[in-house]
Structure 1
């Protein structure tokens, strides 16, 4: 007869056995889980295997069934055709669900023409006097096609051989693409011409010598640095309001050497002639015999005395003959100083002047 103390032990043993049997049944369910068809498949190699097409492929996962589409392309197969192919390889019981077709994409590393151009420019950067890569204009001898490589290629385009002739602008560059698994890298060779370009201000109309430049006379373009002949390009900010040193046709790029400050005094212009000497400041009318910008020394006819004097341009329509110490534009006599009739300002009576 079973004692009361033995009954709890038997119940515990039964529960443990039941739990163990449930766990074993669950593991068995996992092991025999039905294979399921995939609607989209991505492969990195040139072969499609059973494990690519279905989940839970088991031992058949590595069996090859199709050749992959071309690099970077997608092929579509009817689901019924895929199931028939799998059956021919003894893979049965595949759950199709509501899948009508299977899309297979072959992964690829794509290299486009822009990436090639950037890699070549970076290889030539600062070589034999060239500037930054961003300032280089690259022209290839042959059209650069977009390229596709095996997805296992993960490296960047790196230069392995670079030659550049600064006289002709010709380049010969070999680039290399490396595999992540250490396979022999792919090498690509390109030849062509490299030109350094800069932003320049280009005239939109013909401009004559001594003419002032307006904002509407300019547009900004990228031009070859060689076009400037070694001079610095003139920016729009610098050029507007400046005066041309020489006549230039529309379409030409402006250089800093083409520009000068605008003339404040024009030849044959009526000007104010200012005399300064110790103790006195006098003005009179004059006629400019030369053009000049601020700081230039020009000849002026004193209309009062009918004599020609030299002075420095100090403002628009204003020439100053400074006779107070230091270097003088021209030695001026006391009579010449006294000749003006318009007195702009006079020092206090305590000051002494030679003109009084």
Structure 2
């Protein structure tokens, strides 16, 4: 009888222990699932674009308590720059602020980019050109800066302007060093030193399209362009009127300075051709027919035979097969 009671007591104790163990495991599993569920609700933002001076918890994590979102956890990078927050740093921040997040892999990270306004190299060049003019450099000229990829990034709330607060010019070498200032007279004022060189320009006529040898250049085929003076040959044509109406004897590449040797005045009157002779004075206007005794371009003085009087006279070529008799020469 005592043995049966002992066996029964042991059985009841064993049943109680099993039930308690099962309850403990069930409770632990429930807590683990709840913790996992909480962690899954808070997600890492792989990229963060920020405007201000600080990185906040809300920039890094989504799904956190709204009251924690504005807590600053790091200084932001400089405007236009980036910084990478790795998994170790992120986990440390999460623990420090009781954020239920843990990294899943060592690749977890956040790339933080600071938004900015950009002042381009062209805007800087324009400001430098104005400063050079104020310094006394005569126009036209062009400016080359030492770094053509240089940019200035400003905070999004900064005054977007650029001025040259100082410039040092060597007129012999045509080099300069400029102090470029942004956000002048504000708390965000910054000054940058940039060097470069200016080049005086010469304006010369160029062809805008290919013109073959023997063709006459039309007004729509030529225009003015600026070139660095050092690159323009000394015998280059400077006046567009010395190009229009001229005959090409040596083809020239478009958009390049032209030489006098490349062009010639076209022959408007050829030897042996019939021409119209005009004599115009204040009191009369006469025309006659004649025969050219020599070739002539516009403005040339040539000899022709007046077929009416059969006399040889000197005339000025004014157009194709048309000449002008000067009163003194006609007499």
Q: Does 1:129 align with 2:138?
A: yes
Pick closer, same or farther for the CA change 1:113–1:168 going to 2, 3 Å: same
The CA RMSD measured in Å over matched residues stands at 5.2
Q: Name the counterpart of 1:156.
A: 161
Aligned with 2:240 (options 218, 234, 240): 234
Deviation of 1:169 (Å): 3.9
Q: Name the counterpart of 1:287.
A: 292
Q: Name the counterpart of 1:8.
A: none
Q: Deviations over 1:187-241 (max 9, x none)?
A: 3232323343657415968979xx8447999798652356376974539xx9454
Structure 2 Cα separation of the partners of residues 301 and 242 of structure 1: 27
Q: Name the counterpart of 1:191.
A: 196
Aligned with 2:95 (options 87, 91, 95): 87
Q: Name the counterpart of 1:28.
A: none
Structure 2 Cα separation of the partners of residues 288 and 167 of structure 1: 57
Q: Deviations over 1:91-144 (max 9, x none)?
A: 3468x9xxx86543233454554444344334445853213xxxx53323x444
Pick closer, same or farther for the CA change 1:222–1:105 going to 2, 3 Å: same
Q: Name the counterpart of 2:55.
A: 48
Q: Name the counterpart of 1:72.
A: 81
Q: Name the counterpart of 2:313.
A: 309
Pick closer, same or farther for the CA change 1:228–1:254 going to 2, 3 Å: same
SS for the counterpart of 2:296 is: coil
8 Å CA contact 1:310–1:329 kept in 2: the answer is no
SS for the counterpart of 2:268 is: coil
Structure 1: gaps spanning 5 or more residues: 1-34, 323-327, 333-356
Structure 2 Cα separation of the partners of residues 314 and 179 of structure 1: 64
Q: Name the counterpart of 2:329.
A: 330
**Structure whose residues are more often helix by fraction:** 2
Structure 2 Cα separation of the partners of residues 180 and 36 of structure 1: 44
Structure 1 Cα separation of the partners of residues 279 and 202 of structure 2: 52
Q: Deviations over 1:142-192 (max 9, x none)?
A: 444434656265432211123556665433332112278524422323232
8 Å CA contact 2:58–2:69 kept in 1: the answer is yes
Deviation of 1:306 (Å): 6.6
Q: Name the counterpart of 1:177.
A: 182
Q: Name the counterpart of 2:115.
A: 107
Deviation of 1:318 (Å): 3.1
Structure 2 Cα separation of the partners of residues 92 and 60 of structure 1: 11
Structure 2 Cα separation of the partners of residues 61 and 286 of structure 1: 99
Pick closer, same or farther for the CA change 1:301–1:289 going to 2, 3 Å: farther
SS for the counterpart of 1:130 is: coil
Q: What is the number of residues matched between the two proteins?
A: 273
8 Å CA contact 1:51–1:60 kept in 2: the answer is yes
Pick closer, same or farther for the CA change 1:329–1:113 going to 2, 3 Å: same
SS for the counterpart of 1:264 is: strand
8 Å CA contact 1:310–1:330 kept in 2: the answer is yes
Deviation of 1:242 (Å): 2.9
Structure 1 Cα separation of the partners of residues 143 and 218 of structure 2: 34
